[in-house]
Structure 1
Amino acid sequence: MVSKETLDQIKSLPLAQMVKREPWRASLPHSETSHTLLWITRGQGRITVAGRRSGFGTHNAIFIPAGTMFAIEPGTGTFGSVIFLPQDERLGLPTDPVHLRTRDVSAHKEFNANLEQLQRELDSERPGQDRAAFAYAALLGVWLDRQHAEEAAAQYSDAATRLVARYTRLIENKYPTGHNVQHYATALGVTATHLTRVCNQVSGQPASQVLNDRVMYEARRLLRDTKEPVNAIAKSLGFSTPAYFTRAFQSHSTMTPSAYRNGAHI
């Protein structure tokens, strides 16, 4: 049986819709409670997954497991789809990030056909619609398995990439604590200098920016999507004082938290 809660987590939307109104929701590092599958049909851009930055282009498929930090910066004229999939073992989805650059035309057609059928079932009210939508979501998992084979493991096998992936996992679990890079480096058994050097190598950003961007994403989300007082938001994100939070936010976004909340960013 496929529960309504599980089916509600299966969604497909155009990439442009994800980034059109508030680009920071895509371009600042964050994670989703569902698995995220990106399918690029035109254009190019950059994506950072688990701290690893790389370029993407047409007919790239990028799978991001739930709870994994990522940020995407699509270029002008980039088109594609974003598919959200539930954390359900029956779908057989990968446990690690996968970035595929497919060249086989038949593989492109197969993915597009499965995605179109999935969307058709999500939009329908026919009997068995829930089972059919789940089945097409599972077929996307099969497609990923067949395409990437050993490629995903090879992409994430080197020591530098593994360290940065561990760092982003720690950030995702602890960013509201206010811990600095030194704390994370100690937890990872390396020096802050080494962690920064490796982050620059893998993601093109220092360790401090990786951490700060994640915190600022959450700050924007809370200011935009909730009515929590600024003081409470500052405290929930580990800032010692509201004034410190205001300075950090203004440095990152060029406006105060209150101005951002009141619509100065629109």
Structure 2
Amino acid sequence: MDDDSPTLIRDTEQRVFVGSLAGTLRSSHPELRLDSVNGLHKFFWISKGNGRCMINGVTRSFGPNTVIFIPHDVPHRLELSSNVYGVVVTVDPNVAVVLPDHSVFMPILNLMDQKQIANRFDRISAEFNTTGIGRNLAVEYLVGLLSVHLARMAQKHFKEPQTNAAQRLMEAFVNMLEKDYRTGRTLAEYAKVLGVTPTHLTRVCQQVNGKSASRLIQERVLAEARMMLSNTDHKILEISNQLGFSSPAYFTRLFSAKQGQSPKAYRQTAQK
């Protein structure tokens, strides 16, 4: 076929991104972030290794052969062991395919189901890494087929999880945190808006997630700090101000204590 041949199909812009979770890889690309709400739907396939996943304030452990879907507006955080292998697929909400209407956390126990789901993710990855005509459209269609496959598996093997009062409080807390973590709001202020005492909020956080409420607040702010240091050229002063710290010096002290290196050193390492 020569260069003057008519185009048989018009591709879309790239709206699906695919990355690897192999080894200790922690991509710094914003579209592949493993935490927070960043406006993209996310599918994870954990083929090897283990970790913990917090979705809407509830933390669960996972092992190999686990598939996870997180809608674009749901707060989340993945903590991966160094031996994790797998795939993350992020999807722009404007993609015209039907996706699950709520989060999915599904350990796949049946060997045949494991092979089928692994094959779905392999096909998405393979198409993503081609340069052929209609590549972006093909990736989107394959994501739609993955969604249908997951829906059928969930209908066959899994029941809708029931939430309790503690989980509902956590969901309200992490959604509020996602909106307000840049304001410097204190634990007491979050608790007051939620209509509970700081002690009760801390107790529930510890019960559901194994972490205190103060730690969750701190971790969310520091996660954003790491992203900004890695992916922007904002000065330390600007990052400190945008994240609600009282001073750049306090931000630097806290970041250095928790991260093991100063913001400047972290940026230099991350951007290499």
So what's the TM-score if we normalise by structure 2? 0.84
- Aligned to 1:255, the other structure's residue is in SS state coil
How far off its partner does 1:195 sit?
A: 1.0
Could you tell me how far apart the structure 1 residues matched to 2:82 and 2:37 are? Answer: 24
Residue pair 2:255, 2:262 contacting (<8 A) in 1 also: yes
Structure-1 residue corresponding to 2:266: 260
- Comparing 161-170 with 88-97, greater Cα deviation is found at 88-97
- Aligned to 1:19, the other structure's residue is in SS state coil
Structure-1 residue corresponding to 2:6: none
Q: From 161, 164, 188, give the equivalent of 1:154.
A: 161
Residue pair 1:45, 1:57 contacting (<8 A) in 2 also: yes
Q: Does 1:110 align with 2:136?
A: no
- Comparing 172-181 with 29-38, greater Cα deviation is found at 29-38
Q: From 59, 74, 79, give the equivalent of 2:80.
A: 74
The one-letter amino acid of 1:32's match is: N
Listed one character per residue, the Cα deviations across residues 150-171 of structure 1 (whole Å, up to 9, x for unaligned) are 947415x222112112211111
Unaligned runs of 5+ in 1: none
Structure-1 residue corresponding to 2:252: 246
Structure-1 residue corresponding to 2:21: 15
Residue pair 2:59, 2:209 contacting (<8 A) in 1 also: yes
Could you tell me how far apart the structure 1 residues matched to 2:181 and 2:65 are? Answer: 34
Residue pair 1:51, 1:165 contacting (<8 A) in 2 also: yes
Distance 1:190 1:214, change over 3 A: same
Q: Does 1:4 align with 2:12?
A: yes
Unaligned runs of 5+ in 2: 1-8
Distance 1:29 1:251, change over 3 A: farther
How far off its partner does 1:120 sit?
A: 3.1
Could you tell me how far apart the structure 1 residues matched to 2:142 and 2:271 are? Answer: 39
Distance 1:124 1:255, change over 3 A: closer
Distance 1:3 1:27, change over 3 A: closer
Residue pair 2:16, 2:89 contacting (<8 A) in 1 also: yes
Distance 1:230 1:114, change over 3 A: same
Structure-2 residue corresponding to 1:33: 39
Residue pair 1:2, 1:134 contacting (<8 A) in 2 also: no
The one-letter amino acid of 1:44's match is: N
- Aligned to 2:86, the other structure's residue is in SS state strand
How far off its partner does 1:29 sit?
A: 4.4
Q: Does 1:95 align with 2:76?
A: no
Residue pair 1:26, 1:71 contacting (<8 A) in 2 also: no
Q: Does 1:236 align with 2:236?
A: no
- Comparing 50-59 with 124-133, greater Cα deviation is found at 124-133
So what's the TM-score if we normalise by structure 1? 0.86
Higher helix share: 1
The one-letter amino acid of 2:161's match is: A
Structure-2 residue corresponding to 1:191: 197
State the superposition RMSD in angstroms: 2.9
Could you tell me how far apart the structure 1 residues matched to 2:223 and 2:54 are? Answer: 14
How far off its partner does 1:127 sit?
A: 4.0
